[in-house]
Amino acid sequence: MTLYRQLIIFTVVLFLLLFTGTWYAKLANTRTFLTDQLESHVQDTATSLALSVSPHVAQKDLTTVEGMINALFDRGYYQRITYTDPRGEVLIDRTLPVKVEDVPQWFVKLVPLKTPEAEADVMAGWNQGGTILVKSHPGYAYETLWNEVISMTVWFAGCAVFMLAAVGIGLKLLLKPLAAVERQADALGRGEYELQDPLPRTREFKSVAEAMNRMTVKVKEMFGEQAARAEGLQERAYHDPLTGIGNRRYFETQVGADLGEGQGRGLLILARVHALEALNTERGLQAGDELLKRVALLLQEAVSGYGDAVLSRLTGGDFGIFLPHHSSAEAEIVATEIASELGRLARERLSLSDNIANLGVAAYEGSVTLSRLLSEADLALSAAQSKGANGWELRAVSGESALPMGQQQWKESLVKALEERRVTLDAQAVIANTKERGVRQLELFARIAQEDGTALDAALFLPIAERLKLVSAIDRMVIEEALRFDFRSIGVERIAVNISPTSLEDEAFRGWLHGYLKGLPAGAPHINFEFSEFAAVQHLEMIREFAAAVRACGHGIGLDHYGRSFSKLGYLKSLRPEYVKIDRAYTGELLSGENDSGFYVASLCSVAHSIDIAVVAEGVESEEQAAVLKELNLDAMQGYFFGRPRPLSSFTAA
């Protein structure tokens, strides 16, 4: 119960006690006054009547005496008038039944009135001629008392209404600073750091507001320190200090994690800067460092349009670029652009010759290893050196189950698959980091069934679908197919679906999705729409608006590959996803003896938990990894150790 309500109730109770006491005192005083009046009135009546009838009693004119008594009695103010002779014999007796009109009987019983009576002697000359007894009637007294109670109650009720209104308005004004403190505390719980300005004038409230402001500033500093610590760990462990891009460790973990996911396609480009040692000898180390920085910046700009690119300085003058899900046709575009920019850089005379660097490109399809890709790229690099200054060479690498390339073939295959709704769904459980290890949610993966019965993973067809403007149609079909399944039958209340930011740029898709979500039945599962961290940072405002729209329908968003991007972690405060998934590259390093990986994961968890964001670990493949992650305070885990993705239809009720 709020303080405002408590104060209102306290005020009402206090007023009721005051009103009850005043009302009772007023009632008692009025009753005493009326009783005294009745006693005075009845005594005066008895005395005056005795004096009036005395002459007629002396003349023994009983008829006149009776007439005078009747005249007085008929006025209705008396319950009884009796005339008795000196021997006590009743000569005249008039009695009126007690009947109180216009007054509730419960009131008559609740408030008894003493009915006074009085006697007076009737004289016959010097002798006593009898006695007059007059007893008052309480009816008029009750009526007067009832009317007084009614007017008093109405008056107090009016005062109560006015007082409650005044107290309510007054308390709202007085407690306004507390409402500001409440808003500030709520904002702090959401990771928003609001300060009260101006401060309240009331001394006590001012002290509370100042304390809240100090706490808010402190919590903001703590969050900043946590984020800076995590970013510092990432920078020391995975950054090249000279060029500011990733180092060899970052390259190997990221590329290894991508290649470990199975079949796919992509490019690995190896760039080698020439004559670096001679440049350092002739012009100094600073000249060599400047050349490396310029080459790193050139490569960054060349791959800036590829959201999933991995760029690192491997060693000395060697740089590695990894572009997953891209074909050899794109390799020519990227390599040609880089070679052209190297030619322009050569004209700045930063190197000892015009041949600044050569490129070796390995384009792969199917399942391959990083060591093989590096070997193939190194062979291509050797061939590129014979082509002249800043030349490049491409080698195609076919892995196991390699798939044919060709954009037109892909387009025809995708369009036909969509027309025939050959989109199938696999699911993998996300396991809660508890002793019971229950299913927290199911993540769904889209696959396209080919005509020969084989299935294509999303990693193969989604990049091409985005270029062909088909990805929103695929995302729509995935959502429709997913929600046809009865998740309640397997005890799952939450599912995760990956959608592309490209789909959110489609106004028709956004309109359809919002209407579709609003029309879901009450028993439908809670949906978390997942985006990669890089996509979230690049499309922050668009995804934030999307998150607000789906949350209004009871759903949420999640971030995939958390920590893969070198972005500042402050963006989490504005996006506020329901959870983040730590990239499998960091999970895979936990058992390699690299303690800083564990520290980095723990720091990421601390940053996320400080603003009420859950943390999930990807790529858990062993009990040892699960045990280490459990100690790092993660909320859930996902990986082959808990089960590989399998067809959604294979999940049955327990």
Q: Which tokens sit at 37?
A: 């009046």
Residue 405 has a pLDDT of 46
Q: Is 361 helix (H, G, I), strand (E, B) or coil?
A: strand
Q: Do residues 122 and 130 make contact, with C-beta atoms less than 8 angstroms apart?
A: yes
The dihedral sign for the CA sequence 322, 328, 330, 335: positive
- Mean pLDDT across the stretch 21-29? 83
**Out of 178-182, 405-409, 496-500, 505-509, least confident range:** 405-409
% pLDDT > 70, the chain = 91
| 489 DSSP 8-state letter | G
- Mean pLDDT across the stretch 133-157? 84
- Is the pLDDT higher at 293 or at 139? 293
pLDDT tens per residue across span 165-206:
887 787 777 777 777 777 777 776 666 677 877 887 777 777
Q: Do residues 445 and 464 make contact, with C-beta atoms less than 8 angstroms apart?
A: no
Q: Which residues lie across from 397 on neighbouring strands?
A: 364
Confidence of residue 42 (pLDDT cuts 50, 70, 90): confident
Q: What are phi and psi of 27, to 5 degrees?
A: -65, -45
Q: Which residues lie across from 456 on neighbouring strands?
A: 448
Q: Is the pLDDT of residue 320 over 90?
A: yes
- Is the pLDDT higher at 90 or at 217? 90
Confidence of residue 268 (pLDDT cuts 50, 70, 90): very high
| 253 DSSP 8-state letter | H
Pairing mode of beta strands 117-124, 127-136: antiparallel
Q: Is the pLDDT of residue 403 over 50?
A: no
Q: Is the pLDDT of residue 129 over 60?
A: yes
- Is the pLDDT higher at 438 or at 180? 438
Residue 416 has a pLDDT of 82
Q: Is the pLDDT of residue 310 over 70?
A: yes
Q: Which tokens sit at 456?
A: 């294509």
- Is the pLDDT higher at 452 or at 437? 437
Q: Which tokens sit at 412?
A: 């025809």
| Cis status of the peptide bond prior to 198, with omega within 30 of 0 | yes
Question: Whole-number mean pLDDT of the chain?
Answer: 83
Q: Do residues 108 and 100 make contact, with C-beta atoms less than 8 angstroms apart?
A: yes
- Mean pLDDT across the stretch 495-499? 92
Q: Which tokens sit at 504?
A: 């959110």
- Mean pLDDT across the stretch 228-239? 70
Q: Is the pLDDT of residue 400 over 60?
A: no
pLDDT tens per residue across span 447-481:
888 777 777 777 667 777 777 788 898 999 999 99
Q: What are phi and psi of 543, to 5 degrees?
A: -70, -30
Residue 82 has a pLDDT of 92
Other beta carbons within 10 angstroms of residue 539's beta carbon come to 18
pLDDT tens per residue across span 563-615:
776 666 677 877 889 999 988 878 877 765 555 677 778 878 888 888 888 99
Q: Is the pLDDT of residue 329 over 80?
A: no
Q: Do residues 197 and 579 make contact, with C-beta atoms less than 8 angstroms apart?
A: no
Reported for 181-185, long-range contacts at CB under 8 A and 24+ positions apart, including other chains, are 181/205, 181/208, 181/209, 181/212, 184/212, 184/216, 185/212
Contacts of residue 560, defined as CB under 8 A and 6 or more positions apart, other chains included, come to 498, 530, 531, 532, 533, 581, 618
% pLDDT > 90, the chain = 16
Residue 402 has a pLDDT of 43
- Burial code (b: 16+ CB inside 10 Å, e: under 16) for 362-382 equals bbbbeebebeebbebbbebbe
Residue 410 has a pLDDT of 67
Q: Is the pLDDT of residue 530 over 80?
A: yes
Residue 249 has a pLDDT of 86
Q: Is the pLDDT of residue 407 over 70?
A: no
Q: Do residues 183 and 194 make contact, with C-beta atoms less than 8 angstroms apart?
A: yes
Residue 231 has a pLDDT of 66
- Residue 124 CA, distance from chain mean position: 101
Residue 556 has a pLDDT of 94
Confidence of residue 325 (pLDDT cuts 50, 70, 90): confident
Q: Is the pLDDT of residue 383 over 90?
A: no
Q: Is the pLDDT of residue 285 over 50?
A: yes
